[in-house]
Amino acid sequence: MEELLSFGAAVHTCARNEAELRSCLERWRGMGYPLVTGSVCDVSSREQREQLMNEVASLYAGKLNILVNNAGTNIPKPTTEYSEEDVAHIWATNFESAFHLSQLSYPLLKESGRGSIVFVSSVAGVVATPYGTPYSGTKGAMIQLTKNLACEWAKDHIRANCVAPWFTRTPLADPLFDEQTLAKIRSRTPLGRIAEAEEVSSAVAFLCLPAASYITGQTITVDGGVTINGFFFN
């Protein structure tokens, strides 16, 4: 978010929690970014996604240069323990929202004359991980969606790319990283640490910029080298 704002982009974001959204908007505006706006939206809801994109179309006169699909959720448990409701919730939040928002954004991106979509997937969509089969399935589907849209919408000057992060340090994730878990992650990650949030968001911002104008259909793994590691241990 802040990377795009720092480049002068007008950014509209969304969140389910109105108080948290308002707090973030006030902080960004206090940092000197007056072009940031936001809506309360649960992207797992089809109706709310449609309302969100109607607001975006109104704000930006029917044009959109960039769409970043960054919503995600997980319910980690053994595969045999997932209920139908669990799977439906993960699918709706992670994949269906990205697919539908891309559909809704298509005419706006096309109208802009040069559009860019960035999906935020996960290393779990590239290799097997023990953190939830439905989650991994949605993230793998997102990578394939990236490839299809990149080819189908190229004629309309719309690029589609994907960023697949490994474990990333955020306020919400930090409580999950006990020392034993961190030691395991570091041992399999060539760079020997987890990512900082800014290292992921910088990759997302790059793919939105003119500097990436000939890059489409690609998945960049921001993972400290874990997906290319064979038998090197720290």
Look at residue 234 and tell me whether its pLDDT is greater than 90: no
Structure tokens at 179: 């020392």
The whole-chain average pLDDT of the chain stands at 95
Whether this model's pTM surpasses 0.85: yes
Q: How confident is the model at residue 170 (pLDDT cuts 50, 70, 90)?
A: confident
Q: How confident is the model at residue 172 (pLDDT cuts 50, 70, 90)?
A: low
Q: Looking at the chain, how many residues does it have?
A: 234
Structure tokens at 183: 């030691």
Active site residue 60: no
The answer to whether 177 and 167 have CB atoms below 8 angstroms apart is yes
Q: What is the per-residue pLDDT across 72-109, written as a single tens digit (0 to 9) for each? A: 999 999 999 999 999 999 999 999 999 999 999 999 99
Q: What is the per-residue pLDDT across 178-206, written as a single tens digit (0 to 9) for each? A: 899 899 999 999 999 999 999 999 999 99
Name the active-site residue from 33, 82, 135, 214.
135
Structure tokens at 6: 């720092």
The answer to whether 202 and 104 have CB atoms below 8 angstroms apart is no
Look at residue 215 and tell me whether its pLDDT is greater than 80: yes
Look at residue 174 and tell me whether its pLDDT is greater than 80: no
So what's the pLDDT on residue 45?
A: 96
Look at residue 176 and tell me whether its pLDDT is greater than 80: no
b/e code 4-21 from CB counts within 10 Å (16+ = b): bbeeebebbbbbeeeeeb
The answer to whether 89 and 97 have CB atoms below 8 angstroms apart is no
Q: What is the per-residue pLDDT across 113-163, written as a single tens digit (0 to 9) for each? A: 999 999 999 999 999 998 899 999 999 999 999 999 999 999 999 999 999
Residue ranges of domains in the chain, CATH in brackets: 1-40 (no CATH), 44-224 (3.40.50.720)
